[in-house]
Structure 1
Amino acid sequence: MTMPSVHIRQAGSDDAAILAQLNRFVHGLHVGARPDVFQPSSDVEELIPIFSGFLAREGAIAFVAESEEGVPVGYVTAMIHHRPADALMHARSFVFIEHIAVDPTVARMGVGSALVESVRAVGVETGCTSLLTDVWDFNKKALAFFEGQGLGRMRHWLEQRL
């Protein structure tokens, strides 16, 4: 498949509705796999304040991928973290990908890669030394995607349901 012509742009506070709408592409997967953790899909209007709040936070960054027709086909949100040194750890700056979603009609065509690269570039520009994210264990496609982007496993969360 060929890469669709997409434009990646930084998202602003007026893009909360777009992020909320695009979130459906990934949220349903999470609900299906872990209904004990994730609420059933909400109305887009209920999600707008969540994304607005995220976009207003200091260190928050987000990008929207649009088709050549201007239709949003994906997004990524991330947070820049600057951690001071303490007695146990060195000072550290990193960018953490919080959410990423791509319309399945353009999956595996480079949209997700372009979104991650946009986050990576901002991380470098702001002095971050690493790019981090987390992936639910059930989401093998996401894990493979991020490993394909050059991210490696560094930590494991373990869970026992009670």
Structure 2
Amino acid sequence: MHPLKVRRATRDDVALLAELNRFVQNVHAAHRPDLFKEQPPIDELISGFEDQLNRESVRIFIAELAEGQAVGYAMATLHQRLAGALMHAGSFVVLEHVAVDPDVARRGIGTALLDAVREAGREAGCTRFMTEVWDFNSRALAFFEASGFAPAWRRLDQPL
């Protein structure tokens, strides 16, 4: 395992985040080209990350090797649900993206990023940590299950 540092992303990191996004975007585009662009415009990715970093509820973390090379990121959103007729109030953190450079995969980087999100959720008073994973992404599914996640519901898809 490489010495690793996980830090909170800043507005200065938007171009870096757009670049790191390719690791997860490539997998999605390869399996669902009907939904995911193969090469999204970099300026739109940068703008999207700028927007996310401006949201108080968003937490983005970057994983760097000891020499400063960025090798992954995780983006999560903090949620507060008010009590209603059908559900109790709740607070939870949702992992929206996690991407790790395949050249350094399976070396604890994804786990370190999940740990950073988990801690951010705890600090915000969240009691649940959730994510979604595409059925085609068996590596991600195995990683999340090994990290303690369990299926909670399924989203089904059908072309019209």
C-alpha distance in structure 1 between counterparts of 2:139 and 2:42, whole Å: 25
Q: C-alpha displacement at 1:43, in angstroms?
A: 3.9
**Helix, strand or coil: the match of 1:25?**
helix
Pick from 23, 26, 45 the counterpart of residue 24 of structure 2: 26
Q: C-alpha displacement at 1:89, in angstroms?
A: 0.4
**Helix, strand or coil: the match of 2:73?**
strand
* RMSD (Å), alpha carbons: 0.9
C-alpha distance in structure 1 between counterparts of 2:83 and 2:51, whole Å: 28
Pick from 139, 142, 152 the counterpart of residue 141 of structure 1: 139
Aligned to 1:44: 42
Q: Deviations over 1:103-133 (max 9, x none)?
A: 1111000000000000001111111001000
Aligned to 1:103: 101
Aligned to 1:35: 33
Structure 2 residue identity aligned to 1:134: E
- For 1:111-130, what aligned pairs fall within 5 Å after superposition? 111-130=109-128
Q: Deviations over 1:23-59 (max 9, x none)?
A: 1111011111001111221243331001111111120
Structure 2 residue identity aligned to 1:18: L
C-alpha distance in structure 2 between counterparts of 1:120 and 1:27, whole Å: 23
C-alpha distance in structure 1 between counterparts of 2:47 and 2:159, whole Å: 30
| Equivalent residue pairs, number | 160
C-alpha distance in structure 1 between counterparts of 2:91 and 2:44, whole Å: 32
Aligned to 1:53: 51
Q: Deviations over 1:52-85 (max 9, x none)?
A: 1111112000100011110110000000001110
**Helix, strand or coil: the match of 2:24?**
helix
Structure 1 residue identity aligned to 2:34: D
| Runs of 5+ unmatched residues, structure 1 | none
Aligned to 1:84: 82
C-alpha distance in structure 2 between counterparts of 1:70 and 1:32, whole Å: 29
Aligned to 1:63: 61
Q: Runs ≥4 in structure 1, deviation > 3 angstroms? A: none
C-alpha distance in structure 2 between counterparts of 1:31 and 1:104, whole Å: 16
Q: C-alpha displacement at 1:13, in angstroms?
A: 1.7
C-alpha distance in structure 1 between counterparts of 2:142 and 2:62, whole Å: 22
Structure 2 residue identity aligned to 1:139: N
Q: C-alpha displacement at 1:14, in angstroms?
A: 1.6
C-alpha distance in structure 2 between counterparts of 1:125 and 1:46, whole Å: 31
Identity across the alignment (%): 51
